[in-house]
Amino acid sequence: MENHFLALFIVGLLGGGHCVGMCGGIVGALSLQGPAGASSLPIHLAYNLGRIANYALAGLLLGALGAVAGSLLPLQHGLYLFASLMLVAMGIYLLGATRSLAWVEQGGQSLWRRIQPLTGRFLPVRGVAQALPLGFLWGWLPCGLVYSALTTALASGSSRQGALLMLAFGLGTLPNLLLAGLLLVRFRRFAQARATRVVSGLLVLGYGLLGLVNLGHGIISSP
């Protein structure tokens, strides 16, 4: 499970095109809606803090659920298998099969339809007081990468591990959504470069396959 921290950070970091596509609109609006002449950095920081806090909380809750399920060994093996398969799917996504996680996002649409109207209470964003809860609510936006990462939190079988795993993922997404201007353009070029995606995709895919191998060995060696 230790390898999954790095894997989820890489997925968050180099799944940047997906992150910008999903949340780029609201991030751009934060800059336009901020107070005239004031720095928008605190607003962006607050928005991303709320978003990452959402991920960590979801990881904590699913990790706690996984702890309950982990008392049953067959179910624990099933959760670990599912998490490893989702890492494989994320690796394939990074390699360029960007629709490989679309089916996961469809499952969250009904929940998002109930949450989305709540975001209107904090628009337009004039300061940190609106940006922080808005970021937390937008953390529920249906996202295949987020849902895939959450399966790893579930399989961790620990609320603390689950929260830390999702924190690692959230921190990986931060550069794409926080940086602006020329620096963002340069980073986006790096994140979307074919060589970068191949290397990162193979790395995450390798983590998933390693998890499957370890699971197989564990099952064989179990009494």
φ and ψ at 212, to 5 degrees?
Answer: -65, -40
How many structural domains are present in the chain?
1
Q: If pLDDT is split at 50, 70 and 90, which confidence band does 161 have?
A: very high
Top pLDDT among 95 and 146 is at 146
Q: Is the pLDDT assigned to residue 219 strictly greater than 50?
A: no
Q: For residue 177, give its domain range.
A: 2-221
Q: Alpha helix locations (H) across the chain? A: 2-14, 16-33, 41-69, 73-94, 102-106, 109-119, 128-138, 144-156, 159-178, 181-192, 194-221
Model confidence at 203: pLDDT above 90: no
Helix (H, G, I), strand (E, B) or coil at 180: coil
Residue 1 has a pLDDT of 56
Q: What are the start-end ranges of the H helices in 95-158?
A: 102-106, 109-119, 128-138, 144-156
Least confident of 138-142, 170-174, 219-223: 219-223
Give the mean pLDDT of 7-20: 71
The mean-pLDDT minimum among 74-88, 134-148, 156-170, 205-219 falls in: 205-219
More confident residue, 77 or 53: 53
CA distance 169 to 150: 10
Chain segment 113-146, per-residue pLDDT in tens: 899 899 889 888 888 899 899 999 988 988 877 8
Position with higher pLDDT, 135 vs 182:
135
Q: pLDDT tens digits, residue range 33-65?
A: 555 434 677 888 898 899 999 999 999 999 998
More confident residue, 202 or 120: 120
Q: In this predicted model, which residue has the larger pLDDT, 176 or 166?
A: 166
When pLDDT is averaged across residues 21-25 and rounded to a whole number, the result is 54
